[in-house]
Chains A and B, each alone.
Chain A
Amino acid sequence: MSRTPYGRKRWRMSGPHENGHVPPDVLAAIALDGSRLPRSREIVAAEEHMVACVRCSTALAGLLRAAAAGRGAQRDDAVTRPAARVWAAVAERVGEQDGLAPRTGAGRRRAVPLALRLMAAVAGAVVLARVGRRFLRGTASAAPFVPEAEVCRGVG
């Protein structure tokens, strides 16, 4: 056993990665070329070693998994961008959270249009309220003063 470069005995005696374990180049060659590799002494020794060495066989398993994924990958596996509405939804949700607790600079920047939108909504509601009252009372002059400031305070 100890005659081979990665024999079991030597692996047991030497802990460090470089000593007694299958070199990364060889692992990669086995993962990529597999059974087409010439059965050199080095390859045979590596295979014997991996029967007993969890670390090397695990490393090889990881490389084989990557190689299999690479070989199996097709154009269809290429990444595709999500629709624009996805980011819009994320930004909106994040903006909502910031609206509750605007701590960051970015949050304050976003808060301005939000405030403008709210004010516009309030103004719209005020106009609707006026029109509605006029409609209900049937007279324009009777429309009372609408306390806009009060409404705005409630929102702000």
Chain B
Amino acid sequence: MTPQRSAVAPIPAVPRPGRAPHVPSWAPVEESLADEELAHGLAAGDEECLEAAYHRWSSLVHTLAWRSLGDTREAEDVTQQVFLGVWRGRGAFRPERGTMGGWIVGITKRKIADALSARTRRMAVVASAGSSLALSDPAVQQPDTAALDRVLVLHELAKLPAAQQQVLRLAFYEDLTQPQIAERTGWPLGTVKSHARRGLHRLRQCLQQEGFA
């Protein structure tokens, strides 16, 4: 594999569904409970832990669904399905196999796939009924992995330690190389490399958690 990437120019914006009619939530996620405590409480059937999990992950779940489906109502349905799935399947979460966030994202992906399959079936019915309204609609096909990646990475980036965030934001948004970032920040190159490695590793992990192929 050659490590060439189309780097210099940022990836051109892909056409996307219209903006969701919700105010973006910049509020910090509820951090009062550690993931382990939350998982434990959830397994014990504590509804407050479900609510805490909802507060922590519903925006991510909803945005993933909305990005994939391009329809607010369907995205809300998927969000509801996911958290009902979390509640019903709470005994199936295995902390040793991954984080709770990863588990919930995995459920989200499956529910999104279900919603897309249902859509495909509806379209097939329409097509078999002789309509020319065909399967050409790109939204009825596979989930847009790149779109999901962007949402997940942006969400994870905001959770990184400040220095790692700064290095990665300079690399991503200002397209600076590591030596340029060192120059800009005044940090030693080795420090920049270390922040970049740790941060990028975390971003990669969030894309490759359970349920994320």
Contacts and interface: CB of A to CB of B under 8 A. Distances in A.
Interface of A: 24-25, 27-37, 46-47, 50-51, 57, 60-83, 85-87, 89-91, 93-94, 97-98, 103-107, 110
Interface string B75-119: 110011001100100000000000000000000000000000000
A35 B22 contact: no
Given A28-B196, A73-B154, A79-B63, A50 B1 contact: yes
Interface of B: 1-5, 7-8, 10-11, 13-14, 16, 19-20, 22-26, 44-48, 50-51, 54, 58-63, 66-67, 75-76, 79-80, 83-84, 87, 146-147, 149-155, 157, 168, 171-173, 175, 177-178, 193-194, 196-197, 200-201, 203-204, 207-208
Most chain A beta carbons < 10 A, residue from B48, B67, B197: B197
A82 B58 contact: yes
Nearest to A105: B46
Contact of A78 (B147, B154, B172): B154
Contacts of B4: 34-35
6 contacts: A73-B172, A79-B62, A80-B24, A82-B62, A94-B84, A104-B46
Given A32-B200, A34-B7, A103 B45 contact: yes
Task: Give the interface SS of chain A, mostly helix, strand, loop or mixed.
Answer: helix
